[in-house]
A and B are shown apart, each in its own frame.
Chain A
Amino acid sequence: MKDHYHKELDAYQISVGEYSLFALTMLRDAFDAFSSLDRELACEIAGGMENVCIQTGEPAMHQEIHVPRKVFLSMRSDQLEEQGLRLIALHQPVASDLRTIACCMNLITSAERIGRYGKDICHCTYKLPEGIHIRGMARLPEMAEGALSMLEDALHAFQTRDLSILEGFSRRDDVIDELRYLIYEDCITIMEEDPRTIPYCATYLLVDRYLERCADHACKTAEKIHYMITGERVDIR
Protein backbone atom coordinates (compact mmCIF):
# COMPACT_ATOMS: atom_id res chain seq x y z
CA MET A 1 0.00 0.00 0.00
CA LYS A 2 1.25 3.44 -0.88
CA ASP A 3 1.44 6.12 1.76
CA HIS A 4 -0.34 9.42 1.39
CA TYR A 5 2.77 11.29 0.43
CA HIS A 6 3.61 9.02 -2.48
CA LYS A 7 0.00 9.02 -3.64
CA GLU A 8 0.11 12.80 -3.56
CA LEU A 9 3.38 12.78 -5.46
CA ASP A 10 1.90 10.49 -8.13
CA ALA A 11 -1.14 12.72 -8.46
CA TYR A 12 1.13 15.74 -8.73
CA GLN A 13 3.02 14.22 -11.66
CA ILE A 14 -0.25 13.48 -13.40
CA SER A 15 -1.40 17.09 -12.92
CA VAL A 16 1.90 18.42 -14.26
CA GLY A 17 1.62 16.11 -17.27
CA GLU A 18 -1.89 17.37 -17.94
CA TYR A 19 -0.74 20.94 -17.66
CA SER A 20 2.11 20.31 -20.12
CA LEU A 21 -0.39 18.78 -22.50
CA PHE A 22 -2.65 21.79 -22.10
CA ALA A 23 0.22 24.15 -22.99
CA LEU A 24 1.29 21.97 -25.88
CA THR A 25 -2.24 21.90 -27.27
CA MET A 26 -2.40 25.65 -26.85
CA LEU A 27 0.70 25.99 -29.02
CA ARG A 28 -0.64 23.54 -31.59
CA ASP A 29 -4.00 25.29 -31.81
CA ALA A 30 -2.29 28.67 -31.94
CA PHE A 31 -0.22 27.54 -34.89
CA ASP A 32 -3.36 26.13 -36.56
CA ALA A 33 -5.13 29.44 -35.97
CA PHE A 34 -2.15 31.18 -37.52
CA SER A 35 -2.01 28.82 -40.51
CA SER A 36 -5.69 29.25 -41.27
CA LEU A 37 -5.71 32.87 -40.12
CA ASP A 38 -8.57 31.91 -37.83
CA ARG A 39 -8.98 34.93 -35.57
CA GLU A 40 -11.79 33.37 -33.64
CA LEU A 41 -9.64 30.46 -32.53
CA ALA A 42 -6.73 32.81 -31.85
CA CYS A 43 -9.00 34.91 -29.69
CA GLU A 44 -10.21 31.88 -27.76
CA ILE A 45 -6.55 31.13 -26.96
CA ALA A 46 -5.04 34.56 -26.42
CA GLY A 47 -7.93 36.98 -25.92
CA GLY A 48 -7.30 40.64 -26.61
CA MET A 49 -9.25 40.85 -29.86
CA GLU A 50 -12.69 40.15 -28.43
CA ASN A 51 -14.23 43.22 -30.08
CA VAL A 52 -13.15 42.15 -33.52
CA CYS A 53 -14.05 38.52 -32.99
CA ILE A 54 -17.43 39.05 -31.43
CA GLN A 55 -18.50 41.22 -34.34
CA THR A 56 -17.77 38.45 -36.78
CA GLY A 57 -19.01 35.48 -34.76
CA GLU A 58 -22.12 34.78 -32.74
CA PRO A 59 -22.05 36.89 -29.59
CA ALA A 60 -23.73 34.34 -27.30
CA MET A 61 -21.13 31.70 -27.96
CA HIS A 62 -18.27 34.05 -27.32
CA GLN A 63 -19.62 35.10 -23.99
CA GLU A 64 -19.39 31.48 -22.85
CA ILE A 65 -15.77 31.12 -23.80
CA HIS A 66 -14.87 34.56 -22.66
CA VAL A 67 -11.95 33.44 -20.47
CA PRO A 68 -9.11 32.87 -22.92
CA ARG A 69 -6.83 29.89 -22.38
CA LYS A 70 -3.87 32.13 -21.51
CA VAL A 71 -5.63 33.08 -18.26
CA PHE A 72 -5.95 29.47 -17.21
CA LEU A 73 -2.34 28.90 -18.30
CA SER A 74 -0.90 31.43 -15.88
CA MET A 75 -3.29 30.65 -13.05
CA ARG A 76 -2.62 26.93 -13.18
CA SER A 77 1.14 27.46 -13.34
CA ASP A 78 1.07 29.23 -9.98
CA GLN A 79 -1.19 26.60 -8.46
CA LEU A 80 1.05 23.75 -9.55
CA GLU A 81 4.17 25.51 -8.33
CA GLU A 82 2.54 25.97 -4.94
CA GLN A 83 1.59 22.31 -4.83
CA GLY A 84 5.20 21.39 -5.50
CA LEU A 85 6.46 23.74 -2.82
CA ARG A 86 3.94 22.30 -0.42
CA LEU A 87 5.20 18.77 -1.08
CA ILE A 88 8.76 19.92 -0.44
CA ALA A 89 7.85 21.81 2.72
CA LEU A 90 5.74 19.07 4.25
CA HIS A 91 7.64 15.97 3.25
CA GLN A 92 11.25 17.03 2.71
CA PRO A 93 11.59 14.71 -0.27
CA VAL A 94 14.95 13.16 -1.13
CA ALA A 95 16.54 11.14 -3.94
CA SER A 96 14.20 10.27 -6.84
CA ASP A 97 11.25 11.94 -5.12
CA LEU A 98 13.19 15.18 -4.89
CA ARG A 99 14.42 14.92 -8.47
CA THR A 100 10.85 14.25 -9.60
CA ILE A 101 9.52 17.39 -7.93
CA ALA A 102 12.41 19.45 -9.28
CA CYS A 103 11.67 18.10 -12.76
CA CYS A 104 7.96 18.88 -12.36
CA MET A 105 8.80 22.45 -11.38
CA ASN A 106 10.91 22.79 -14.51
CA LEU A 107 8.18 21.30 -16.64
CA ILE A 108 5.67 23.79 -15.24
CA THR A 109 7.94 26.71 -16.13
CA SER A 110 8.59 25.34 -19.61
CA ALA A 111 4.93 24.57 -20.22
CA GLU A 112 3.98 28.06 -19.19
CA ARG A 113 6.54 29.53 -21.58
CA ILE A 114 5.34 27.27 -24.41
CA GLY A 115 1.74 28.31 -23.84
CA ARG A 116 2.87 31.94 -23.85
CA TYR A 117 4.56 31.44 -27.22
CA GLY A 118 1.21 30.08 -28.41
CA LYS A 119 -0.37 33.29 -27.22
CA ASP A 120 2.32 35.29 -29.04
CA ILE A 121 1.62 33.35 -32.25
CA CYS A 122 -2.06 34.26 -31.85
CA HIS A 123 -1.05 37.91 -31.63
CA CYS A 124 0.79 37.46 -34.93
CA THR A 125 -2.47 36.13 -36.36
CA TYR A 126 -4.19 39.37 -35.40
CA LYS A 127 -1.54 41.38 -37.21
CA LEU A 128 -2.06 39.72 -40.58
CA PRO A 129 -4.85 40.72 -42.94
CA GLU A 130 -7.55 38.11 -43.26
CA GLY A 131 -7.14 35.95 -46.30
CA ILE A 132 -4.40 33.58 -47.26
CA HIS A 133 -0.71 33.22 -46.50
CA ILE A 134 2.05 33.71 -49.04
CA ARG A 135 4.64 31.22 -50.27
CA GLY A 136 3.20 28.38 -48.16
CA MET A 137 4.33 30.26 -45.01
CA ALA A 138 7.96 29.69 -45.96
CA ARG A 139 8.73 26.39 -44.19
CA LEU A 140 7.02 27.22 -40.94
CA PRO A 141 4.55 24.27 -40.99
CA GLU A 142 7.45 21.85 -41.22
CA MET A 143 9.23 23.61 -38.37
CA ALA A 144 6.09 23.69 -36.22
CA GLU A 145 5.61 19.97 -36.72
CA GLY A 146 9.20 19.33 -35.70
CA ALA A 147 8.98 21.45 -32.55
CA LEU A 148 5.59 20.08 -31.54
CA SER A 149 6.65 16.48 -32.00
CA MET A 150 9.67 17.11 -29.77
CA LEU A 151 7.44 18.58 -27.09
CA GLU A 152 5.06 15.65 -27.38
CA ASP A 153 7.86 13.14 -27.09
CA ALA A 154 9.36 14.90 -24.08
CA LEU A 155 6.00 14.79 -22.37
CA HIS A 156 5.59 11.16 -23.29
CA ALA A 157 9.01 10.35 -21.85
CA PHE A 158 8.06 12.14 -18.65
CA GLN A 159 4.85 10.17 -18.33
CA THR A 160 6.27 6.77 -19.21
CA ARG A 161 9.81 7.25 -17.84
CA ASP A 162 11.05 5.76 -21.09
CA LEU A 163 14.38 7.39 -21.88
CA SER A 164 14.65 5.83 -25.34
CA ILE A 165 12.05 8.34 -26.54
CA LEU A 166 14.57 11.11 -25.94
CA GLU A 167 17.23 9.62 -28.17
CA GLY A 168 17.92 11.78 -31.20
CA PHE A 169 16.74 14.98 -29.54
CA SER A 170 20.02 16.76 -30.30
CA ARG A 171 19.74 15.95 -33.96
CA ARG A 172 16.10 16.98 -34.09
CA ASP A 173 16.98 20.26 -32.45
CA ASP A 174 19.71 20.80 -35.06
CA VAL A 175 17.10 20.34 -37.78
CA ILE A 176 14.96 23.00 -36.13
CA ASP A 177 17.91 25.36 -35.89
CA GLU A 178 18.74 24.85 -39.56
CA LEU A 179 15.13 25.51 -40.53
CA ARG A 180 15.18 28.62 -38.46
CA TYR A 181 18.03 30.12 -40.50
CA LEU A 182 16.62 28.86 -43.79
CA ILE A 183 13.32 30.55 -43.08
CA TYR A 184 15.16 33.68 -42.04
CA GLU A 185 17.12 33.79 -45.30
CA ASP A 186 14.03 33.02 -47.36
CA CYS A 187 12.01 35.75 -45.71
CA ILE A 188 14.74 38.33 -46.33
CA THR A 189 14.87 37.37 -50.00
CA ILE A 190 11.08 37.43 -50.37
CA MET A 191 10.84 40.84 -48.70
CA GLU A 192 13.60 42.26 -50.90
CA GLU A 193 11.79 41.07 -54.00
CA ASP A 194 8.43 42.48 -53.05
CA PRO A 195 7.91 44.94 -50.19
CA ARG A 196 4.19 44.09 -50.05
CA THR A 197 5.17 40.77 -48.46
CA ILE A 198 6.72 42.52 -45.48
CA PRO A 199 3.71 42.23 -43.11
CA TYR A 200 3.67 38.48 -43.74
CA CYS A 201 7.37 37.81 -43.62
CA ALA A 202 7.84 39.95 -40.53
CA THR A 203 5.37 37.76 -38.62
CA TYR A 204 6.95 34.64 -40.08
CA LEU A 205 10.24 35.72 -38.61
CA LEU A 206 8.60 36.16 -35.20
CA VAL A 207 6.90 32.77 -35.35
CA ASP A 208 10.19 31.29 -36.57
CA ARG A 209 11.84 32.52 -33.42
CA TYR A 210 9.02 31.33 -31.12
CA LEU A 211 9.11 27.83 -32.55
CA GLU A 212 12.87 27.63 -32.19
CA ARG A 213 12.48 28.60 -28.52
CA CYS A 214 9.84 25.89 -28.06
CA ALA A 215 12.17 23.23 -29.44
CA ASP A 216 14.82 24.53 -27.07
CA HIS A 217 12.40 24.08 -24.18
CA ALA A 218 11.81 20.53 -25.36
CA CYS A 219 15.58 19.87 -25.16
CA LYS A 220 15.89 21.45 -21.74
CA THR A 221 12.92 19.43 -20.54
CA ALA A 222 14.50 16.27 -21.93
CA GLU A 223 17.65 16.97 -19.89
CA LYS A 224 15.59 17.43 -16.74
CA ILE A 225 13.66 14.22 -17.38
CA HIS A 226 16.92 12.38 -17.89
CA TYR A 227 18.20 13.67 -14.55
CA MET A 228 14.92 12.80 -12.85
CA ILE A 229 15.09 9.20 -13.99
CA THR A 230 18.82 8.45 -13.76
CA GLY A 231 20.36 11.05 -11.47
CA GLU A 232 22.95 11.68 -14.20
CA ARG A 233 23.33 14.95 -16.05
CA VAL A 234 23.35 14.94 -19.83
CA ASP A 235 23.77 17.73 -22.33
CA ILE A 236 21.14 17.71 -25.04
CA ARG A 237 21.46 20.13 -27.95
Chain B
Amino acid sequence: MIQQDYALETKALNLYYGSAQALIDVDIKIPKNQVTALIGPSGCGKSTLLRCFNRMNDLIPNCTLSGSILYHGEEITGRSTDVVELRKRIGMVFQQPNPFPKSIYENVIYGPKVHGVKDRKQLDEIAERSLKGAAILDEVKDRIHDAARGLSGGQQQRLCIARTLSVGPDIILMDEPCSALDPIATAKIENLITELKEEYTVVIVTHNMQQAARVSDYTGFMYMGRLIEFDSTSVIFERPKEELTENYITGRFG
Protein backbone atom coordinates (compact mmCIF):
# COMPACT_ATOMS: atom_id res chain seq x y z
CA MET B 1 0.00 0.00 0.00
CA ILE B 2 1.17 3.51 -0.76
CA GLN B 3 2.66 5.43 2.12
CA GLN B 4 0.01 7.76 3.40
CA ASP B 5 -1.46 9.48 6.41
CA TYR B 6 -3.61 7.41 8.67
CA ALA B 7 -6.39 9.01 10.64
CA LEU B 8 -6.78 5.98 12.84
CA GLU B 9 -4.70 2.96 13.51
CA THR B 10 -5.01 -0.02 15.82
CA LYS B 11 -2.23 -2.31 16.88
CA ALA B 12 -2.83 -5.77 18.33
CA LEU B 13 -6.21 -4.65 19.57
CA ASN B 14 -8.01 -7.18 21.76
CA LEU B 15 -11.35 -6.42 23.37
CA TYR B 16 -13.40 -8.42 25.83
CA TYR B 17 -16.97 -8.10 27.02
CA GLY B 18 -16.49 -9.80 30.36
CA SER B 19 -14.85 -13.08 29.41
CA ALA B 20 -16.07 -13.09 25.82
CA GLN B 21 -13.49 -11.86 23.37
CA ALA B 22 -15.05 -9.59 20.74
CA LEU B 23 -11.91 -8.39 18.95
CA ILE B 24 -8.83 -10.51 18.36
CA ASP B 25 -5.50 -8.96 17.39
CA VAL B 26 -6.98 -6.35 15.12
CA ASP B 27 -4.43 -4.31 13.18
CA ILE B 28 -6.08 -1.79 10.93
CA LYS B 29 -5.00 1.49 9.38
CA ILE B 30 -7.74 3.89 8.37
CA PRO B 31 -6.47 6.24 5.63
CA LYS B 32 -7.16 9.93 5.96
CA ASN B 33 -9.78 11.59 3.75
CA GLN B 34 -10.99 8.26 2.48
CA VAL B 35 -14.10 6.24 3.12
CA THR B 36 -13.41 2.93 4.82
CA ALA B 37 -16.13 0.32 5.10
CA LEU B 38 -16.23 -2.50 7.62
CA ILE B 39 -18.25 -5.50 6.56
CA GLY B 40 -18.91 -8.92 8.01
CA PRO B 41 -21.67 -11.07 9.45
CA SER B 42 -23.58 -10.08 12.58
CA GLY B 43 -21.48 -10.38 15.69
CA CYS B 44 -18.16 -10.26 13.81
CA GLY B 45 -17.00 -7.24 15.82
CA LYS B 46 -17.29 -4.51 13.22
CA SER B 47 -19.51 -2.26 15.34
CA THR B 48 -17.36 -2.97 18.38
CA LEU B 49 -14.30 -1.87 16.44
CA LEU B 50 -16.07 1.27 15.25
CA ARG B 51 -17.09 2.11 18.79
CA CYS B 52 -13.49 1.74 19.96
CA PHE B 53 -12.49 4.69 17.83
CA ASN B 54 -14.35 7.22 19.96
CA ARG B 55 -14.33 5.26 23.18
CA MET B 56 -18.02 4.44 23.10
CA ASN B 57 -17.23 1.10 24.72
CA ASP B 58 -16.26 2.98 27.92
CA LEU B 59 -19.97 3.03 28.67
CA ILE B 60 -20.24 -0.75 28.68
CA PRO B 61 -19.56 -2.40 32.04
CA ASN B 62 -16.98 -5.21 32.01
CA CYS B 63 -15.55 -4.09 28.71
CA THR B 64 -11.76 -4.29 28.69
CA LEU B 65 -9.21 -3.89 25.98
CA SER B 66 -5.53 -4.29 25.29
CA GLY B 67 -3.36 -3.08 22.46
CA SER B 68 -3.33 0.43 21.14
CA ILE B 69 -5.52 2.76 19.16
CA LEU B 70 -3.87 5.76 17.58
CA TYR B 71 -5.67 8.86 16.45
CA HIS B 72 -3.31 10.71 14.09
CA GLY B 73 -0.51 8.83 15.78
CA GLU B 74 -1.66 9.67 19.28
CA GLU B 75 -2.66 6.98 21.75
CA ILE B 76 -6.30 7.32 22.79
CA THR B 77 -6.85 4.29 24.99
CA GLY B 78 -5.30 5.78 28.12
CA ARG B 79 -6.92 7.47 31.07
CA SER B 80 -5.33 10.77 30.18
CA THR B 81 -7.28 11.03 26.93
CA ASP B 82 -9.97 13.70 27.10
CA VAL B 83 -12.91 11.65 25.90
CA VAL B 84 -15.18 14.66 25.44
CA GLU B 85 -12.62 16.34 23.23
CA LEU B 86 -12.02 13.05 21.40
CA ARG B 87 -15.72 12.63 20.61
CA LYS B 88 -15.78 16.18 19.31
CA ARG B 89 -13.05 15.22 16.85
CA ILE B 90 -14.54 11.81 16.06
CA GLY B 91 -18.28 12.08 15.50
CA MET B 92 -20.73 9.26 15.18
CA VAL B 93 -23.97 8.61 13.33
CA PHE B 94 -26.20 5.68 14.23
CA GLN B 95 -28.61 3.39 12.47
CA GLN B 96 -31.77 4.93 13.83
CA PRO B 97 -31.92 8.71 13.26
CA ASN B 98 -32.00 10.17 16.75
CA PRO B 99 -32.67 13.92 16.61
CA PHE B 100 -33.35 15.64 19.93
CA PRO B 101 -36.99 16.60 20.52
CA LYS B 102 -36.16 20.15 19.60
CA SER B 103 -36.22 22.32 16.51
CA ILE B 104 -33.97 21.62 13.54
CA TYR B 105 -31.89 24.66 14.41
CA GLU B 106 -31.57 23.71 18.10
CA ASN B 107 -30.46 20.23 17.12
CA VAL B 108 -27.58 21.53 15.03
CA ILE B 109 -26.31 24.14 17.50
CA TYR B 110 -26.73 21.92 20.54
CA GLY B 111 -23.17 20.66 20.43
CA PRO B 112 -21.45 24.02 19.88
CA LYS B 113 -23.58 25.51 22.69
CA VAL B 114 -22.53 22.77 25.08
CA HIS B 115 -18.95 23.51 24.11
CA GLY B 116 -19.49 27.14 25.01
CA VAL B 117 -20.30 29.01 21.83
CA LYS B 118 -22.78 31.73 22.77
CA ASP B 119 -22.63 34.28 19.99
CA ARG B 120 -25.90 34.04 18.03
CA LYS B 121 -24.30 35.10 14.77
CA GLN B 122 -21.61 32.49 15.12
CA LEU B 123 -24.17 29.81 15.96
CA ASP B 124 -26.18 30.81 12.88
CA GLU B 125 -23.09 30.41 10.76
CA ILE B 126 -22.33 26.99 12.24
CA ALA B 127 -25.93 25.91 11.67
CA GLU B 128 -25.88 26.99 8.06
CA ARG B 129 -22.48 25.48 7.34
CA SER B 130 -23.35 22.17 9.01
CA LEU B 131 -26.74 21.83 7.33
CA LYS B 132 -25.12 22.65 4.02
CA GLY B 133 -22.36 20.14 4.66
CA ALA B 134 -24.95 17.46 5.31
CA ALA B 135 -26.80 18.35 2.08
CA ILE B 136 -30.03 19.21 3.84
CA LEU B 137 -29.96 23.02 4.01
CA ASP B 138 -32.10 23.55 0.90
CA GLU B 139 -34.80 21.25 2.21
CA VAL B 140 -35.13 22.84 5.66
CA LYS B 141 -34.03 26.47 5.35
CA ASP B 142 -37.62 27.75 5.35
CA ARG B 143 -38.61 25.81 8.44
CA ILE B 144 -35.45 25.75 10.46
CA HIS B 145 -37.35 26.38 13.70
CA ASP B 146 -39.84 23.57 13.12
CA ALA B 147 -39.61 20.36 15.13
CA ALA B 148 -36.85 18.03 13.90
CA ARG B 149 -39.08 15.03 14.51
CA GLY B 150 -41.36 16.31 11.74
CA LEU B 151 -38.71 15.55 9.12
CA SER B 152 -38.66 12.35 7.12
CA GLY B 153 -36.35 9.53 8.21
CA GLY B 154 -33.78 10.37 5.55
CA GLN B 155 -33.86 14.05 6.44
CA GLN B 156 -33.55 13.23 10.14
CA GLN B 157 -30.49 11.15 9.37
CA ARG B 158 -28.88 13.97 7.43
CA LEU B 159 -29.79 16.31 10.28
CA CYS B 160 -27.92 13.95 12.59
CA ILE B 161 -24.94 14.16 10.25
CA ALA B 162 -25.22 17.97 10.34
CA ARG B 163 -25.31 17.80 14.14
CA THR B 164 -22.13 15.73 14.04
CA LEU B 165 -20.45 18.22 11.70
CA SER B 166 -21.37 21.21 13.90
CA VAL B 167 -18.63 20.56 16.45
CA GLY B 168 -15.91 20.37 13.79
CA PRO B 169 -14.83 16.74 13.75
CA ASP B 170 -12.34 15.35 11.27
CA ILE B 171 -13.53 11.76 11.45
CA ILE B 172 -17.10 10.57 11.13
CA LEU B 173 -18.06 7.09 12.20
CA MET B 174 -21.27 5.68 10.79
CA ASP B 175 -22.93 2.56 12.12
CA GLU B 176 -25.42 1.27 9.55
CA PRO B 177 -26.52 4.82 8.69
CA CYS B 178 -28.94 3.78 5.96
CA SER B 179 -30.47 0.62 7.34
CA ALA B 180 -33.64 2.39 8.46
CA LEU B 181 -34.02 4.39 5.24
CA ASP B 182 -35.74 3.90 1.90
CA PRO B 183 -33.65 3.62 -1.31
CA ILE B 184 -33.94 7.30 -2.27
CA ALA B 185 -32.94 8.55 1.17
CA THR B 186 -30.17 5.94 1.12
CA ALA B 187 -28.87 7.26 -2.20
CA LYS B 188 -28.77 10.79 -0.75
CA ILE B 189 -26.76 9.66 2.26
CA GLU B 190 -24.41 7.69 0.00
CA ASN B 191 -23.83 10.74 -2.19
CA LEU B 192 -23.23 12.75 0.93
CA ILE B 193 -20.66 10.25 2.21
CA THR B 194 -18.74 10.62 -1.04
CA GLU B 195 -18.78 14.40 -0.66
CA LEU B 196 -17.82 14.28 3.01
CA LYS B 197 -14.49 12.65 2.31
CA GLU B 198 -13.22 15.90 0.81
CA GLU B 199 -12.99 17.23 4.34
CA TYR B 200 -13.46 14.26 6.61
CA THR B 201 -12.34 10.70 7.10
CA VAL B 202 -15.33 8.40 7.11
CA VAL B 203 -15.57 4.92 8.61
CA ILE B 204 -18.81 3.12 7.89
CA VAL B 205 -20.15 -0.16 9.20
CA THR B 206 -22.70 -1.70 6.90
CA HIS B 207 -24.51 -4.94 6.24
CA ASN B 208 -25.23 -3.79 2.73
CA MET B 209 -22.28 -4.97 0.67
CA GLN B 210 -23.33 -3.13 -2.43
CA GLN B 211 -23.35 0.00 -0.33
CA ALA B 212 -19.85 -0.71 0.91
CA ALA B 213 -18.76 -1.30 -2.68
CA ARG B 214 -20.37 1.94 -3.86
CA VAL B 215 -19.25 4.40 -1.23
CA SER B 216 -15.95 3.18 0.13
CA ASP B 217 -12.35 3.40 -1.02
CA TYR B 218 -11.14 0.72 1.37
CA THR B 219 -12.97 -2.24 2.80
CA GLY B 220 -12.20 -4.43 5.78
CA PHE B 221 -13.84 -7.81 6.12
CA MET B 222 -14.24 -9.04 9.70
CA TYR B 223 -15.18 -12.46 10.95
CA MET B 224 -15.43 -13.73 14.51
CA GLY B 225 -13.54 -10.81 15.97
CA ARG B 226 -10.71 -10.87 13.47
CA LEU B 227 -9.93 -8.57 10.62
CA ILE B 228 -9.63 -11.17 7.87
CA GLU B 229 -8.77 -8.96 4.93
CA PHE B 230 -8.27 -5.26 4.39
CA ASP B 231 -7.63 -3.78 0.97
CA SER B 232 -8.88 -1.29 -1.57
CA THR B 233 -12.56 -1.79 -2.19
CA SER B 234 -12.01 -2.81 -5.80
CA VAL B 235 -9.67 -5.60 -4.76
CA ILE B 236 -12.05 -6.86 -2.08
CA PHE B 237 -15.03 -6.96 -4.40
CA GLU B 238 -13.36 -8.07 -7.62
CA ARG B 239 -10.55 -10.33 -6.54
CA PRO B 240 -10.29 -10.89 -2.79
CA LYS B 241 -7.31 -12.92 -1.63
CA GLU B 242 -8.89 -14.71 1.30
CA GLU B 243 -11.33 -17.53 0.72
CA LEU B 244 -13.41 -16.44 3.72
CA THR B 245 -13.90 -13.02 2.17
CA GLU B 246 -14.80 -14.55 -1.16
CA ASN B 247 -17.34 -16.87 0.42
CA TYR B 248 -18.92 -14.12 2.46
CA ILE B 249 -19.31 -11.51 -0.26
CA THR B 250 -20.54 -13.97 -2.87
CA GLY B 251 -23.12 -15.31 -0.43
CA ARG B 252 -21.62 -18.79 -0.18
CA PHE B 253 -21.29 -18.58 3.58
CA GLY B 254 -21.87 -21.43 5.96
Contacts and interface: CB of A to CB of B under 8 A. Distances in A.
Interface string A93-106: 11111110000000
Interface in B239-254: 239-240, 245-246, 249-252
Contact of A231 (B213, B239, B249): B239
Interface in A82-124: 92-99
B38 to A, nearest CB: 16
B250 A95 contact: yes
B237 A94 contact: yes
A6 B249 contact: no
Given A6-B251, A94-B213, A231-B240, 14 more contacts: A5-B251, A6-B252, A93-B250, A95-B237, A95-B238, A95-B239, A95-B240, A95-B250, A96-B250, A98-B237, A99-B238, A99-B239, A231-B239, A232-B239
B209 interface: yes
A3 interface: yes
A97 B240 CA distance: 12
A99 B133 CA distance: 38
Contacts of B252: 6
Interface of A: 3, 5-6, 92-99, 231-232
A109 B209 CA distance: 30
A93 B240 CA distance: 13
Residue with the greatest number of chain A CB neighbours at <10 A, chosen from B210, B237, B239:
B239
Contacts of B240: 95, 231
Contacts of B210: 92
A234 B15 CA distance: 43
A3 B239 CA distance: 22
Nearest to B213: A94
A54 to B, nearest CB: 52
A98 to B, nearest CB: 6
Interface string B194-238: 000000000000000110010000000000000000000000011
B250 A231 contact: no
Residue with the greatest number of chain B CB neighbours at <10 A, chosen from A92, A94, A98, A232:
A94
Given A231-B238, A231-B239, A95 B246 contact: yes
A162 B250 CA distance: 22
Contacts of A6: 251-252
A98 B249 CA distance: 11
Contacts of B209: 94
Contacts of B213: 94
Contacts of A3: 251
B26 to A, nearest CB: 23
Contacts of A99: 238-239
A100 B252 CA distance: 15
Nearest to B249: A94
A118 B177 CA distance: 55
A175 B252 CA distance: 43
B208 to A, nearest CB: 10
Given A231-B238, A231-B239, A95 B249 contact: yes
A225 B227 CA distance: 30
A233 to B, nearest CB: 10
Contacts of B249: 94-95
A99 B234 CA distance: 12
